A and B are shown apart, each in its own frame.
Chain A
């Protein structure tokens, strides 16, 4: 049995020499009298696929909110590509390289699939107010390039033919995939996926696993995901952190986590090892 020191970093060997894309040091947040997250430490390598699991209410989405600066931490620090994100807001955090999807899908329902992705490409397209209104060449160039790029991104999930459909009209699974595409469009260094497999059957989950690996390999980015689906987590994560009541109770590779008594107790209660 390897050490279950929750403080140890988990970076896979190939990334050990590079600057970690994400580092949290003693991150914590209190809401009034309630400590939602405490002493959260993690180091994620630039191309690592990492999982964050734990029972409901453990604080996983809160951590995502801390990382994307929706909440400001009460304690501790978050470093993105080596930069302290202390004074950033959500917008700045995205520009610094962190993108996310949401537990309850937050798509632009009345806009088309294409337009949703184009919002992700907003900053990349860059032309200003007057070029837009007067339809100067920079407008036409940016729009053309943007649309091509959006179609390229949509083709990861084979969604390019749905480009002119309203996002709100898509089936649930496609909506989740569209959110991932939109997040990717912002050109992040690390992609945060909040329960990407929710509502998917095993074959869709399998496909999603393939696609996540493909995304990591193509774009060479890191991925941190929150998931309850153990097939997905154990299948693609290289490192896993287990959260319970706002604290990390175990960290390690899938094999280590699977057999960790504290993890089993958190999920199944005492005596769960017999299950």
Chain B
């Protein structure tokens, strides 16, 4: 019984990680960039939703604003900071994304102070729980898992069945060839960022419902862990990000349940290291052969 409730707990956390991990994976898959700023987009989404709710917007509008805000921010960042560096060495791109992450965090700290603010999660999701076969499951958990799964299904549909999705896959395989086939690479890349950010926006709402405290640094640790999830599942792989997300969520819950909660972060990073040492391409990732 306890195991099952912890399982649900892990799936809830894991589905949030999965939503965020998808953003990392998609962006890496298309331009080989580890977008350090992705986690901080979530933080921004949380603040937007927070202020919208405080300003008495209806919850649906608040969610919409948060998602739209994340998308806009992400696309702007891509156009201003990453696009100029498209042909630069990867180190430069990585450092720039670190810079963007720092910028977002510190701007938030400057404007909103470093203190956490309480997030009125009950405005979005009712706080009670439901009884399923004797097991008490919170509404938040159910909605989180459902929303995540639906989002991921939608994403899979997008990538596999639509023209834009095909373009995304083409550009991530071979950017030059895609361009020669008439695909607008810049737009495709921006679209990828947008989709990743939209998912992160949804993830941020769900995250703030689970941990109802918004501060400038909430994005960074969440982002790092979601990142580990993406690597675990195989960075560049969409199903991989989902698997990785659930795996990390479950692992974290397990470690806490074993009473070792101060080691949770350490365990997540240890998983990262083990994956990178044993199988760097992750569970479902593809390896790149260098031409000599």
Contact = CB atoms under 8 A, between A and B. Distances in A.
Asked if the two chains touch in their complex, CB atoms less than 8 Å apart, one says yes
B281 to A, nearest CB: 16
Contacts of B258: none
A102 B291 CA distance: 11
Nearest to B290: A70
Contacts of B292: 61, 65, 70, 102
B37 to A, nearest CB: 30
A70 B292 CA distance: 8
Interface string A58-74: 00010001000010000
Contacts of A70: 292
Interface residues of A, number: 4
B289 to A, nearest CB: 8
B202 to A, nearest CB: 38
Contacts of A61: 292
B283 to A, nearest CB: 20
Contacts of A102: 292
Interface in A67-121: 70, 102
A229 to B, nearest CB: 22
A220 to B, nearest CB: 28
A41 B153 CA distance: 54
Interface of B is mostly: loop
A61 B292 CA distance: 9
A102 B292 CA distance: 8
A233 to B, nearest CB: 23
Contacts of A65: 292
A213 B292 CA distance: 27
Interface string B252-292: 00000000000000000000000000000000000000001
A171 to B, nearest CB: 24
Interface in A114-155: none
B191 to A, nearest CB: 31
Nearest to B291: A104
B287 to A, nearest CB: 12
A65 B292 CA distance: 8
A131 to B, nearest CB: 32
B239 to A, nearest CB: 22
Nearest to A100: B292
A159 B108 CA distance: 59
Nearest to A64: B292
A208 B163 CA distance: 53
Nearest to B289: A31
A141 B60 CA distance: 77
B290 to A, nearest CB: 9
Interface in B149-207: none
Nearest to A70: B292
A4 B292 CA distance: 32
B162 to A, nearest CB: 29
B292 to A, nearest CB: 5
Interface in A36-74: 61, 65, 70
A70 B291 CA distance: 10
A99 to B, nearest CB: 15
B136 to A, nearest CB: 51
A176 to B, nearest CB: 17
Nearest to A103: B292
A130 to B, nearest CB: 31
Nearest to A90: B292
Nearest to A61: B292
A70 B290 CA distance: 10
A170 B292 CA distance: 22
A10 B292 CA distance: 28
A80 to B, nearest CB: 19
A78 B87 CA distance: 40
B123 to A, nearest CB: 54
A70 B289 CA distance: 11
B250 to A, nearest CB: 34
A43 B292 CA distance: 24
A65 B290 CA distance: 12
A60 to B, nearest CB: 13
A61 B291 CA distance: 11
A178 to B, nearest CB: 19
Interface in B58-101: none
A175 B292 CA distance: 18
A163 B292 CA distance: 27
A113 B29 CA distance: 38
B165 to A, nearest CB: 26
Nearest to A106: B292
A71 B292 CA distance: 10
Interface of A: 61, 65, 70, 102
Interface of B: 292
Q: Give me the 4 closest cross-chain CB pairs, A-B, nearest first.
A: A70-B292, A65-B292, A102-B292, A61-B292
4 contacts: A61-B292, A65-B292, A70-B292, A102-B292
